[in-house]
Amino acid sequence: MIKKPVYKRVVLKLSGEALQGAHRHGIDQKTLFSIATQIKEIKQLGIEVALVLGGGNIFRGQENVEAKGLDMDRSVADYMGMLATVINGMALQDALEKIGVATRIMTAIEIRQVAESYIRRRAMRHLEKGRVVIFVAGTGNPYFTTDTTAALRAKEINAQVVLKATKVDGVYAADPFKVKGAKRFSELKYIDVVRKGLRVIDSTAVTLCMENKLPIIIFDMTKEGNIHKVIMGEKIGTIIQ
C-alpha cells in the first residue's frame, strides 16, 4: 500500500539562519539549493506549499540593535528586518525556479518591482495553480515576528499545519546546545508552551494557533529529507496542538 501525505496545504516557516548554513551570516548557496530541492520533492507529491521567511541571517531587527548597542527606534529596526526577508525571498525564489519550481513572492510592504503585494485571494489562487508562494516582509507591521506571520498567513490561506524548521530536532525544556541532557518534548499543548516560557516559537504565534486549532510542528531542518517525513506524518520533531 502506497503511503499518502497527511497534509494538502502547508505553511513552512524558515528562519533566516536556515539559509546561512555553516556561515555566521549571509546566504549559503549549497544550503539554499538543498532547501529548494526538498521543497520540490514535496511539491511533486501534490502538496500546496507556502513559505514564510525570516531575515536573521542579514538583520534581526531589535535583537541586532540591542546586541550592538545601536541607538535606533524599534520600528526602524523591525522594518529593516522585514526588508531582509525580501532579500532571502528573492534568493530562494531564484533557487526554486532554477530547478523548475514555479513561485510567486508576496510582500506585506509594497515593492512592485520585485514582488506582488499580498492579497489573500491571489495567494490562494497561486497555490491552487501549483505555485510555491513565498511570503516576505512579515505582517508589514513592527513588533510582530515572522513566527506570528506564519500563523497568521496559515490561517488566512486555510493551511492545515504550520511547519517550523529549526536547527534542533524539536522543543526542549532548555537550550540543548547549552544544557546537556535537556528534556525533549515529542508533544506539547499550546498553553504549556506559553506557561513554560519555551521560546522556540513566539507566544503570539502560539496563541493565534491555539485560538484557531492550527497545529504546529517544530523539526530539524538540517537533515535532508525531514520535510518529506513531516509531510508523510512521520513522528519527528515536536507537535504543538
Q: Where are the alpha helices (DSSP H) in the chain?
A: 17-20, 29-43, 62-68, 74-98, 120-128, 146-156, 190-195, 203-211, 226-231
CB 217 within 8 A of CB 164: yes
Kindly state the average pLDDT of the residues 47-67. Answer: 84
Q: Write out the three cell numbers for 28.
A: 549559503
pLDDT reported for residue 167: 84
Q: What are phi and psi of 98, to 5 degrees?
A: -70, -20
Residue 167 belongs to some domain of the structure: yes
More confident residue, 177 or 94: 94
**Domain presence at residue 211:** yes
Mean pLDDT of 114-120: 96
**What are the pLDDT digits (tens) for 11-46?**
999 998 888 888 888 999 999 999 999 999 999 999
186: domain range?
9-240
pLDDT score at 178: 85
Q: Is residue 2 part of a domain?
A: no
pLDDT tens string 204-221: 999 999 999 999 999 998
How confident is the model over 176-186, as a mean pLDDT? 88
Q: Which residue has the higher pLDDT, 21 or 142?
A: 142
The residue-averaged pLDDT of 144-162 equals: 97
Q: Can you say how many angstroms the Cα of residue 143 is from the centroid of all Cα atoms in its chain?
A: 17
- Residue 49 placed within a domain: yes
Q: Which is nearest to 114 in space by CA: 82, 141, 139, 87?
A: 87
Number of independent structural domains in the chain: 1
Contact (Cβ atoms closer than 8 angstroms) between residue 117 and residue 106: yes
| pLDDT for position 65 | 67
Give the pLDDT score at 42: 95
Q: Examine residue 1 and state whether it is found in any structural domain, yes or no.
A: no
How far apart are alpha carbons 187 and 171 in whole angstroms?
Answer: 9
- Per residue in 125-137, pLDDT (tens digit) is 999 999 999 999 9
For the domain that residue 218 is a member of, what is the CATH number? 3.40.1160.10
CA distance 150 to 205: 8
Collapsed DSSP state (helix, strand, coil) of residue 33: helix
Residue 3 lies in a domain: no
pLDDT tens figures, 70-102:
778 889 999 999 999 999 999 999 999 999 999
Distance separating alpha carbons of residues 26 and 32, to the nearest angstrom: 11
Q: Looking at the predicted structure, is the pLDDT value of residue 61 above 70?
A: no
pLDDT of residue 199: 81
Please answer whether residues 151 and 97 qualify as being in contact, where contact means their C-beta atoms are separated by less than 8 angstroms: no
